[in-house]
Structure 1
Amino acid sequence: MKEKALIIGSGIAGIAASIRLAVKGYQVEVFEANAYPGGKLSELVIQGYRFDAGPSLFTLPDQVEELFKLAGQNPDEHFKYLKLDVACHYFWEDGKQLKAWSDVNRFAEEVETKLGEPASHIREALKRSAFIYDHLAPLFMHRSLHKFGTWTNPQALKSYLKMGKLGIFSTMNKANEQQFQHPKLIQLFNRYATYNGSNPYQTPATLNIIPHLEFNIGAFFPKKGMHDITMSLYKLAKSLGVTYHFISPVEEILVENGKAVGVLTKEGELRADIVVNNMDMVNAYKTILRKQKQPKLLLEQPKSSSALIFYWGVKQHFPALDLHNILFSGDYKAEFDHIFNKGSIYSDPTVYINITSVYKEDDAPAGCMNWFTMINVPNNQGQDWDKMIAEARKNILAKINRILKTDLDPLIEVEEILDPRTIESKTSSAQGALYGNSSNNKFAAFLRHANFSSDIKNLYFCGGSVHPGGGIPLSLLSAKIMTELVVSDL
């Protein structure tokens, strides 16, 4: 008789967890409140336009490929992707533009030519980023921080001697000010704080690990769009015998004598040997774990930023735009002050435009483009979002018109909006925060929930709201860490 595992939530970590546990011989069932898998990593189709609804940047594709290999499958037969020549196209109001070429030397030369920043500064910064990754990734990304063995293994002992060089005692902005001379380049590298919803003027410089992923390893694009990450892994899970229950929210995790024994749904009780929570940790404790001891310190931590996204079907082709595009704010510090301190949206926000039809032409009608247009915004604290969204839309359009020298509004024939309120209602993310707790202090990594419960036996956690953090690669790694804990425990 196979041991049974129940997973709550089919975000990308929940799907990965279902695959890993099925490979380990578990009978796995997944309960999802929505009618579709993927959580934030879903899609939207409107009048001939297809949009990847959530995460749009793909790094560390080996984490996806590993799941197919574990199941004895050839990844190339199920999931195809390409490496980008240009990771991102950057624009400023004064007409300056930069293409972040995947070839580091070409990018370094472009920075020197257009900004006058010595090319050596780029190469040195990316070497430092690789150094941080080499020392911290094995410790913080691939292991549980909540097990004693993590801190006594040889890799950890080696890293202790390098703490001063890993950015723990500085902020991202201060480190970038020391690395670069030109304010535009400092701003460009400060942007990486937004990859986990943080503030570069507060978050530790250890987050300068992120450029290594994008430049030294590479940025990629799934040939069928980001949603194919979800669907290819979902199909893999199904082929392994995993059962998915959609429109089936869990009402309670059942706990008896300090042990998770199953879940309660509208269909009744279902028993299991282990329970895995892929739901946002904060909302899980408020709802399905409301009867259990609450980890107040973790629940009360400040949340990451959220997003305001306009899905625009644009009936014109803009050859200047690439897959990933950034139109920078004129005052980055003021923008983050509004997001994290004032709980509002700055009048001159940095605008991110993702256009998958650049690589996947059938995502938009001929001669048109699908614009995923996003700005970083505060999480939901009860603001007047309708008023804020209306003002932000005007400011975003004005900025786009100035930089691209166009009149965009008449070209928009399709529009959908996603804001912090709907992010929370659709994905159960507390306050609509995209990455759970924020990383705006040097202890943030230690203030994420573990991949297991210290109070309830046989209860495990995965997903962007727990260790090691948010985003596709870290969510996939959370499922890996969690599964390793299950195996070592049982």
Structure 2
Amino acid sequence: MRRVVIIGAGIAGLAAAIRLAKKGFAVRVLEAGSQPGGKMSEIRKEGFRFDTGPSLFTLPHLVEELLEEKLSSKYHKLNLITRYFWEDGTLVNAWAEADKFALEMEHVLGVPASAVHKYLDEARFLYEHTAEMFIFNPVMSLKTLFSAAGLHALKALPRLKAFRSMHSYHEQCFSNPKAVQLFDRFATYNGSDPYKAPATLTMIPHLEHNLGAWFPQGGIYQIAQDLENKAKQLGVSFHHNEAATLIHFRGKKAYTVQTSSNTYETDLVISDVDIARVYDHLIPHKPLPMRYINRPVSSSAIIFYWGIRRTSPMLDVHNILFAEDYRKEFDALANGTLADDLTVYLFISSKIVKSDAPEGCENWFAMINAPYDRGQNWNELRLKARNIILSKVQRILGMDISKDILVEDYADPPLIAIKTGSWRGALYGISSNDPMAAFLRHPNKVSAFSNVYFVGGSVHPGGGIPLCLASAKIVDKLIKK
């Protein structure tokens, strides 16, 4: 039986473990932490439970493929995806059903429902013509270009809008600035800037409003738990609290993986570790190629996990409180700091998972976009973010929660870097602001190593739950039985 060592039990590492075990490999997973999931983790404190990483789940079929079961009994499909709030009291409910969402936009913002449908139809076209090529296949080569997926994607080439920004395209589609801002926000799903990111990314809303978003009955962390349980059923061996320290090579071939306590012989290695860390720590004899070193990286976040002693009937699971000057917010991020007004994302899983908070309480995941770590004064920036969030919640929602916070924890770029191994705390690896970003991510397989493969958010096709799962699917295709 051929052996494979997977380094990292993030969502991509778990998916790779399941896929390789199904192929008949003897799979061993080495994980530095005490639990699976990577960025998808949880905190439990004084009766509150918080998902700490990804919070929105789309493309559930990628998990169904792994678990070999339908998720409808354990995963709840959201009817209302996000509530959007502005300082002037405007509230837009982003319903999952496209027709209902379009009518909401027309009723509240005066945007013709037909314009919303036209936009979502274009998003569907882009996704359906390009996803197989750019998401579920290796980085483009002549072989993939002339494959069925490549030829199908070529039909969308005139409509990719790769050389104009999301923001400029949204201004063309919608005359209402609030509608523009609402759709601009989708750039942040992979840590991008809507004023720079290519309009190709306007396919992202298709996932929510044409396909739908889901929520597990036990919270987002249930996904990691379900995948680990499935892997164990297939005979995968997990070694928690055992970090890989070095991959040993003979020429191009990896033959052992060393940890602080053991050395494991292997026929294949799959890394689910941030790509910069892989080269710095696990393959120090081979430096990270310069074309990746010089690439700008994605944004990070400052997150507060608040257990509060009250409820909020006006809020749903996913909520956005918009900044008045969105461009100024992203300009500040590019300069490594925070603007004086910020867009706040509030995620409250206890709206669905009642056990996530004591009765009469809620668990608030309050997040703002932040720059990656460049040595800034994070104590100062974190305090600034906290004050802005509390003030914004009071102004827009009429809630002074400062005295109702019973439990508090936080994450900022340095802490994210320590806990997840993300380079400088960047959540999505290299930035997607470049029109050619889809071709510039580190591949899942490189010629320098004959039996080493790469999965996870810092390599192709990118970060977020669906793309990390897709990276494992790509590696599964690349590895022969």
When the two structures are superposed, what TM-score results if normalisation uses the length of structure 1?
Answer: 0.96
Return the alpha-carbon distance in structure 2 between the equivalents of residues 76 and 109 of structure 1.
29
Contact (CA 8 Å) 2:455, 2:471: kept in 1 or not? yes
Q: How does 1:254-293 map to 2 (within 5 A)?
A: 254-293=248-287
Question: Residue 117 in 1 paired to residue 116 in 2?
Answer: no
Question: Residue 303 in 1 paired to residue 297 in 2?
Answer: yes
Offset of residue 76 of structure 1: 4.7
Q: Which residue of 2 aligns with 1:372?
A: 365
Aligned AA for 2:100? R
Residues 394, 282 of structure 1: CA spacing in aligned structure 2 closer, same or farther, 3 A cutoff? same
Q: Which residue of 2 aligns with 1:32?
A: 31
Return the alpha-carbon distance in structure 1 between the equivalents of residues 287 and 324 of structure 2.
46
Contact (CA 8 Å) 2:247, 2:256: kept in 1 or not? yes
Q: How does 1:32-431 map to 2 (within 5 A)?
A: 32-69=31-68, 74-76=69-71, 80-340=74-334, 342-431=335-424
Residues 40, 169 of structure 1: CA spacing in aligned structure 2 closer, same or farther, 3 A cutoff? same
Paired residue secondary structure (1:109):
helix
Q: Which residue of 1 aligns with 2:468?
A: 475
Offset of residue 270 of structure 1: 1.4
Offset of residue 201 of structure 1: 0.5
Offset of residue 293 of structure 1: 4.2
Q: Which residue of 2 aligns with 1:446?
A: 439
Offset of residue 99 of structure 1: 0.2
Return the alpha-carbon distance in structure 1 between the equivalents of residues 9 and 149 of structure 2.
33
Residue-by-residue CA offset, 1:25-77 (whole Å, 9 max, x unaligned) = 000001111111111111111101111111000101110001022xxxx3459
Aligned AA for 1:440? N
Aligned pair count reads 481
Residue-by-residue CA offset, 1:229-256 (whole Å, 9 max, x unaligned) = 0001100001111011111111111111
Return the alpha-carbon distance in structure 2 between the equivalents of residues 27 and 157 of structure 1.
37
Aligned AA for 2:453? Y
Return the alpha-carbon distance in structure 2 between the equivalents of residues 417 and 472 of structure 1.
22
Return the alpha-carbon distance in structure 2 between the equivalents of residues 148 and 457 of structure 1.
20
Give 4+ residue runs of structure 1 displaced > 4 Å after superposition. none
Residue-by-residue CA offset, 1:359-399 (whole Å, 9 max, x unaligned) = 11111011111000000000001100001111111111101
- CA RMSD between the two structures: 1.2
When the two structures are superposed, what TM-score results if normalisation uses the length of structure 2?
Answer: 0.98
Return the alpha-carbon distance in structure 2 between the equivalents of residues 464 and 156 of structure 1.
23
Aligned AA for 2:458? S
Return the alpha-carbon distance in structure 2 between the equivalents of residues 331 and 57 of structure 1.
25
Contact (CA 8 Å) 1:379, 1:420: kept in 2 or not? yes
Q: Structure 2 regions of 5+ residues with no counterpart?
A: none
Paired residue secondary structure (2:16):
helix
Contact (CA 8 Å) 2:126, 2:156: kept in 1 or not? no
Contact (CA 8 Å) 2:280, 2:287: kept in 1 or not? no
Paired residue secondary structure (2:244):
coil
Offset of residue 406 of structure 1: 1.8
Return the alpha-carbon distance in structure 2 between the equivalents of residues 229 and 190 of structure 1.
28
Return the alpha-carbon distance in structure 1 between the equivalents of residues 223 and 176 of structure 2.
37
Offset of residue 135 of structure 1: 1.1
Aligned AA for 1:299? I
Aligned AA for 1:274? L
Return the alpha-carbon distance in structure 2 between the equivalents of residues 111 and 178 of structure 1.
16
Comparing 157-166 and 271-280, the one that deviates more: 157-166
Return the alpha-carbon distance in structure 2 between the equivalents of residues 244 and 457 of structure 1.
25
Aligned AA for 1:3? R
Offset of residue 218 of structure 1: 0.3
Residue-by-residue CA offset, 1:310-342 (whole Å, 9 max, x unaligned) = 0000110110000000000000000011112x1
Offset of residue 478 of structure 1: 0.2
State the identity %. 46
Offset of residue 286 of structure 1: 1.0
Return the alpha-carbon distance in structure 2 between the equivalents of residues 43 and 472 of structure 1.
15
Offset of residue 16 of structure 1: 0.4
Contact (CA 8 Å) 2:307, 2:362: kept in 1 or not? yes
